[in-house]
Amino acid sequence: LFTKDLYPQGRPVLAAVTGWPLTYTRSPILHNGWCAHYGINGLYLRLPLKPENFERGVRALQALGFAGLNVTIPHKEAAYALVDRHTHDARRAGAVNTLVFEADGSIEGGCTDGIGYLDSLREAGVTLPRRALVLGAGGAARAVCAALLDAGCRVTLANRTKARAEALSAALGGGHVIDWQDWPDHLAEAELLTNTTSLGMTGQDVFDWAGSLTKAAGSLVVSDIVYVPLETPLLAAAQARGLATVDGLGMLIHQARPGFEAWFGRRPEVTPGLRARLIETL
Ligand code: ATR
């Protein structure tokens, strides 16, 4: 498979992303782009695995000598159950998106979504907020809330289905839950608004963001983890009010960095070229 003419440096370090149906993933662009940029002999593949084949598939890739995997929908909870050890962030998120196959045969599971989100804020020049208002209560919301809480931020949580926000808050031991329809009233005291819901995603429900932002302080930073479209209706409404915004592409890039470092041995940088290549794919 890895013949001398194709791989003059020998067999590459192997990693992959798995999910199902995994119709489209940008992870290979990131990891193979970084390998090319740094001259690393690495290869990052896209390997769909049906849920019923997930565990066997992971064990097979480990036996084949892969360095590790990224795991996406719907395998993040199955990955959590499969690994031998969890990072602190994985335990907080209750999910695993990064597997590292260790030399001793064990598997470490991490969740890099929350730290990826905080790093995307930092990259955008946003200092860590003291108070954040987070919309949504799915898996992404949990990772983001955990990272914000662990960084010392006070988090207010609003979700259409309030019971899910309450369960999230209970699981994390933090966060103040409010009714969904009340969130615009809590903007005045927030320094950061984070949308983790699918509202604003191409093809999803529409929402009156402009009307909801009228009580925002001028210093509010508005971020959306949705990145298709890159300028979401929320970000467009925030910009129209002159508010600072952070788009979801940064989180996508930054959540990939810890895995790349663990597998390929180098902390990768976020270059403008990489952002541009990803934007071409949106
Ligand atoms: P994730 O991908 O982060 O795991 P998810 O579990 O798919 O997220 O949840 C999507 C989020 O978007 C949820 O918080 C959902 O609210 P519910 O818990 O009430 O379902 C939210 N969401 C989706 N459509 C919405 C809408 N039209 N109005 C408000 N919230 C919505």
- The full set of domain ranges for the chain reads 13-111+256-280, 114-251
The CA 190 to ligand 1 mean position distance, Å, reads 21
The per-residue pLDDT for range 147-190, each reduced to its tens digit, is 999 999 999 999 999 999 999 999 999 999 999 999 999 999 99
Question: What ipTM does the predicted assembly reach?
Answer: 0.96
The per-residue pLDDT for range 28-77, each reduced to its tens digit, is 999 999 999 999 999 999 999 999 999 999 999 999 999 999 999 999 99
For residue 12, pLDDT over 80 is answered with yes
The CA 164 to ligand 1 mean position distance, Å, reads 10
Given strand 154-158, what is the order of strands in its sheet?
176-178, 154-158, 131-135, 192-195, 221-224, 244-246
Tell me if 74 CB under 6 Å of ligand 1.
no
Q: Which atom of ligand 1 is nearest to the CA of 180?
A: 29
Which CATH architecture fits 114-251? Answer: 3-Layer(aba) Sandwich (3.40)
The CA 158 to ligand 1 mean position distance, Å, reads 11
How far apart are alpha carbons 270 and 275 in whole angstroms? 7
Nearest in space to 172 (alpha carbons), one of 195, 128, 141 = 141
pLDDT of 7: 85
Q: Which atom of ligand 1 is nearest to the CA of 140?
A: 3
pLDDT of 3: 86
How far apart are alpha carbons 89 and 182 in whole angstroms? 30
Tell me if 197 CB under 6 Å of ligand 1.
yes
For residue 23, pLDDT over 90 is answered with no
- Fold classified for 13-111+256-280: Rossmann fold (3.40.50)
Please classify residue 104 by burial: count the beta carbons closer than 10 Å to its beta carbon, then call 0-12 exposed, 13-18 middle and 19+ buried.
Answer: exposed
Percent of the chain, pLDDT > 70?
100
Please classify residue 241 by burial: count the beta carbons closer than 10 Å to its beta carbon, then call 0-12 exposed, 13-18 middle and 19+ buried.
Answer: middle
DSSP helix/strand/coil, 181? helix
The response to whether 113 counts as a known ligand-binding position is: yes
Is there a catalytic annotation at residue 4? no
The per-residue pLDDT for range 216-239, each reduced to its tens digit, is 999 999 999 999 999 999 999 999
Is-same-fold flag (13-111+256-280; 114-251)?
A: yes
The CA 203 to ligand 1 mean position distance, Å, reads 14
Q: Which atom of ligand 1 is nearest to the CA of 197?
A: 12
Tell me if 162 CB under 6 Å of ligand 1.
no
Tell me if 199 CB under 6 Å of ligand 1.
yes
- Among protein residues, the one whose CA lies closest to atom 30 of ligand 1: 160
pLDDT of 2: 81
The reported pTM is: 0.96
